Structure 1
Amino acid sequence: MRKTWLLGLGFFSISLTWALYNAFVPLFLDHYLTSAALIGFMMTIDNYFAMFLQPWIGHRSDKTRTRFGRRMPYLLIGMPLGAVFAALIPLHTGFVTLVLFMMLMNLSMSLFRAPTVALMPDITPEKNRTRANGIINFMGGIGSVLAFGVGSKLYGIGSYVPFLFAGITMLVCMLVLKAVIKEPVLLESPEASAKSAPTVRIKDQLDKTTLFILGAIFFWFVAYQGVEALFTLYGTKHAGMSDSEASFSLTFFSLAFLLFALPSGWLGARFGKKKIIMIGVGGLFLVFGSVVFVESVLLLRVLLIIGGIFWACININSYPWVISTGKEESIGTRTGIYYLVSSLAAITSPPLLGWVIDAFGYPALFVSASAGLLLAFLCLLGAGAGERVGGHDPLDQASVTAGK
């Protein structure tokens, strides 16, 4: 598991960078745009890149054969570019250069997100993947917490400082990953191995079980993303909170998720991914449904803590489940499909649930989120478990040699 913790540095740097981006880029955009809706749209650029680029990049990485491995070339290209363009964002000279640097950073980050995620199952035996996913999500959570805790202090020094910090952190993490994570190196030449690599077609990955799983992923992300995006409005306009109380309340959900990331991975490995996910979906359905009847801020925060635990049961086990229902050579492709569906939900959910709020009032936020979780639960009932129980250690193959 030592390599898993070190691989978590990749997620740490990604989460750190995105948290700083989401916190401070809207402030830059506010100098040029008066519409909050337009600013919100500009902040969803990464989801559009994720929808169209990450499935293709993940699919390409399955077929990539180089002396550096399948995934590492994408990290060696994307991470330095992402670091440079992130550092350039606060140095923009106008709206055009700001948007240009934002686009280039989003493009660069899309180059290595799916390959970085796919590295985990590449170097981890099937039986350990849920625990490994818990570890890397835990590392990513630390990156987000550090961004909010330290980022505001650095921003006070200068608007460019947190972005420079993120860029340097990303480069350091890349160097550590390059030095420590050794992908299996094929004994044959890259040209010959590319010809002998099994053909992976996206349409072959969309069997009945996978489609039901992807449907569940879409619906539970619609529920989660909508609540995350609109909760502060719910808190201030319906629950009577101040701006700071509403935003602080979400911290309880995030911290509960972070603290339960490792246990939920262990539970998924011990009792089965589908079973733990169904418990998480059912539990979060009850939590969101209960919020509608809660008026106490204290009780609301208690429910958010419980909700964060159930969300960890869902989120930590979902990606390993998607991977476990396919073949080893399709890991990158299935990773890209996973991010396609979650990104589609991220784009769809805020405006959809915002429209529901406009039509029926703020209590409808958690009613509609509960409906999304109910639909996710129904999709889970239609999905077979489809998990590989065992699984080989990717580093213990007669046909490969790997650096230790």
Structure 2
Amino acid sequence: MKFSFSKTFLLGFGFFGVSVIWMVYNAFVPLFLANRFHIEPWLIGLFMTFDNIAALFIQPPVGAWSDRLRTPIGRRMPFILIGAPIGAIAFGFIPLAAVLPLFVACTSTLLLSMAFWRTPVVALMPDITPSAYRSQANGIINFMGGVGAIIATLGGGALYKLNPAYPFWMGSILVIVATLLLFLFIREPREYEITSSERPALFRSLKEVVKDPDKSAFRILLAIFFWFVAYNAIEAFFTLYAQNHLGLPGGDGARLLGQLSLIFVLFALPAGYIGGSWGRRRTIITGILLLSACMLLMFLLPAPTLLIQVTRLPVLGVVPIIGVILMIAGASWALINVNSLPMVVDMTDNLRVGTYTGLYYLFSTLAAIVGPNINGWIIQLTGKDYNRVMLVGPIFMFIALLMMIGVRRGEVQGD
């Protein structure tokens, strides 16, 4: 198995589609809930976890299922070809729902279909990539995901001002295009055949991880949980933070997220190469420290200071102090996110890559459920002070740091 830059780049279109959908969803669904349906903050936090609750029960077992599946088009592709089109159609109907039950029906269909294909499309990366190049390959894939995030936030922010439905329709079209490119140009390897009586199973693998005396796999999974609690909790409320704490319109809040996403994109490739050469564990720890500092600055600095203009850049427009902080946060998140999945899958063999990818999503999805609920209640109990979301993140990042210090495996394996 050889590393192919072009094949990995094409594979990134799958992650591109996932990223577009969720960035638009996270940026604008809270605004619909607050402004159209007048939902209280703690209920918005609960609503924003519904997709993650479904994903918790679907994504991990689907990953193990895809390890066992054998079809003429591969073990991952059937999930992608079924889940992506259904998700794209449901996504396009979300902004058209004028009553809450219909809105919930559209979002429920979306979350079920997205959960069905996300783990298989991510598991394709280690399927076609040698261990020595998985950080770099994940950097390329996250680069593509970051491009999707920029389109979703910057383009979506502008489209939202024209018509709130336009960002969703843009996302639906892009997902369909990405799926077609993935199907036409990616061929799965054929050598993964089950030769033993033991078939990949999610909960058996989780039990092995917990009982392993080394504890490295369990520690990094716990670290993933805690840093996603920090990051997802903030992301779910950022547009409302911008609207209520900074006094910005919803579209401008999404534009600020786009500044984070831009640097994430630009730093995704370097983050992969840094992790491959400097060490994945050391790179992740550096990202944790930097991202914690960024969150603390957004909490401590007053809103007028955060909005002071620093410069003006093409595409991004005005860049305030908070924009600079978010850019540093984007680079920090790249150091963490690009190198974490390669560490997890390099703690197992190729037969169970989908299963361990499922474990990765089990812990990150649990975090995505816990994080918004914690922040929703904090906002509710502090008189709707949206700035408090920036205080919770560093606490959980510190716990993630303690977990990562004890990780001893997950670096490049010999191929």
TM-score by length of 2: 0.82
Deviation, structure 1 residue 106: 1.3
Q: Does 1:348 align with 2:370?
A: yes
Q: Does 1:173 align with 2:197?
A: no
Deviation, structure 1 residue 196: 5.3
Residue of structure 2 equivalent to 1:106: 111
Task: Give 1:119's match in structure 2, choosing from 115, 124, 133.
Answer: 124
Residue of structure 2 equivalent to 1:381: 405
Seen in structure 2, the aligned counterparts of structure 1 residues 321 and 292 have a Cα distance that, compared at 3 Å, is: same
Seen in structure 2, the aligned counterparts of structure 1 residues 30 and 277 have a Cα distance that, compared at 3 Å, is: closer
SS in 2 for 1:319: helix
CA RMSD in angstroms, aligned pairs only: 3.0
Is the deviation greater in 107-116 or in 13-22?
A: 13-22
Seen in structure 2, the aligned counterparts of structure 1 residues 29 and 235 have a Cα distance that, compared at 3 Å, is: closer
Residue of structure 1 equivalent to 2:285: 278
SS in 2 for 1:311: helix
Q: Does 1:226 align with 2:233?
A: yes
Distance of 1:347 and 1:287 partners within structure 2? 23
Residue of structure 1 equivalent to 2:342: 320
Q: Does 1:134 align with 2:139?
A: yes
Distance of 2:141 and 2:75 partners within structure 1? 20
Number of residue-to-residue matches in the alignment: 385
Which structure 2 segments of 5+ residues have no match? 309-320
Q: Does 1:302 align with 2:315?
A: no
Is the deviation greater in 36-45 or in 256-265?
A: 36-45
Based on CA coordinates, which of the two structures has the bigger radius of gyration? 1
Cα pair 2:149 2:258 within 8 Å, conserved: no
Cα pair 1:75 1:115 within 8 Å, conserved: yes
Which structure 1 segments of 5+ residues have no match? 188-192, 392-404
Task: Give 2:17's match in structure 1, choosing from 8, 13, 28.
Answer: 13
SS in 2 for 1:185: coil
Using the aligned pairs only, state the percent identity.
Answer: 42
Distance of 1:154 and 1:301 partners within structure 2? 21
Cα pair 1:280 1:311 within 8 Å, conserved: yes
Q: How does 1:352-363 map to 2 (within 5 A)?
A: 352-356=374-378, 358=381
The one-letter code matched in structure 2 to 1:200 is P
SS in 2 for 1:387: coil
Is the deviation greater in 217-226 or in 201-210?
A: 201-210
Distance of 2:29 and 2:226 partners within structure 1? 28
Distance of 2:227 and 2:163 partners within structure 1? 38
Distance of 1:292 and 1:96 partners within structure 2? 36
Distance of 2:372 and 2:142 partners within structure 1? 24
Distance of 1:135 and 1:215 partners within structure 2? 25
Residue of structure 1 equivalent to 2:316: none
Residue of structure 1 equivalent to 2:205: 204
Residue of structure 1 equivalent to 2:317: none
The one-letter code matched in structure 2 to 1:331 is V
TM-score by length of 1: 0.84
Deviation, structure 1 residue 388: 4.0
CA offset digits 1:27-82 (Å, max 9, x no partner): 65568732233344333321111111000101111111111111011111112222
Distance of 1:152 and 1:163 partners within structure 2? 11
Is the deviation greater in 82-91 or in 26-35?
A: 26-35
Distance of 1:161 and 1:247 partners within structure 2? 14
Seen in structure 2, the aligned counterparts of structure 1 residues 47 and 288 have a Cα distance that, compared at 3 Å, is: same
The one-letter code matched in structure 2 to 1:174 is T
Deviation, structure 1 residue 386: 3.4
Distance of 1:377 and 1:109 partners within structure 2? 30
